[in-house]
Amino acid sequence: MSPVAPSSVETTEALFDKVVDVNLKGPFRLTALVGSRMAAAGGGSIINVSSVGAQRPSPWIAPYAAAKADLNAMSTALSQEWSRSGVRVNVLSQGPFLTDVSMLWADDDRMKARVGLGRFAEPEEVVSTALYLATATFTNITVDGGPAVHEPS
């Protein structure tokens, strides 16, 4: 959930709380419960899905970007907590990638200009990264085509 708000002042407390609940509190509770069971069983792999917004936030997604940045920090902490129990906690930070939903903006040159490679990621790139992360020990991999060299005008 990443609703756009016209400004920080216009972001209601209810909207802020909902964004944090969905993007941080929910993953925290689920990771804690599943991770503790994996640790008791001798191991496992957790992949939390974050966003490039946590690394390169925009003003209109500030609560979402903050929640995803906190998700990254939380994943690091839980990885350290359970690594000796055989539980791996990793993060996949994705940017725009081509799905049925994205077809509306897939040909938007202004949006493509914000991506270093000038194209959006393909679903296969996200899937192959997730498969790699299932075997890795804490890391955060970004799949987004790279940061833009310059901001579009």
64 a catalytic residue: yes
Catalytically annotated residue among 24, 46, 61, 64: 64
The whole-angstrom separation of Cα 89 and Cα 62 is: 25
The whole-angstrom separation of Cα 111 and Cα 108 is: 5
Residue type, 78: L
The whole-angstrom separation of Cα 28 and Cα 82 is: 14
Name the one residue in this structure whose structure tokens are 């509190």: 25
- Pairing relationship of beta strands 87-94 and 44-51 according to DSSP bridges: parallel
DSSP state letters, 66-125: HHHHHHHHHHHHHHHHHGGGTEEEEEEEE--B--TGGGGTTT-HHHHHTBTTSSPBPHHH
Active site amino acids: 64
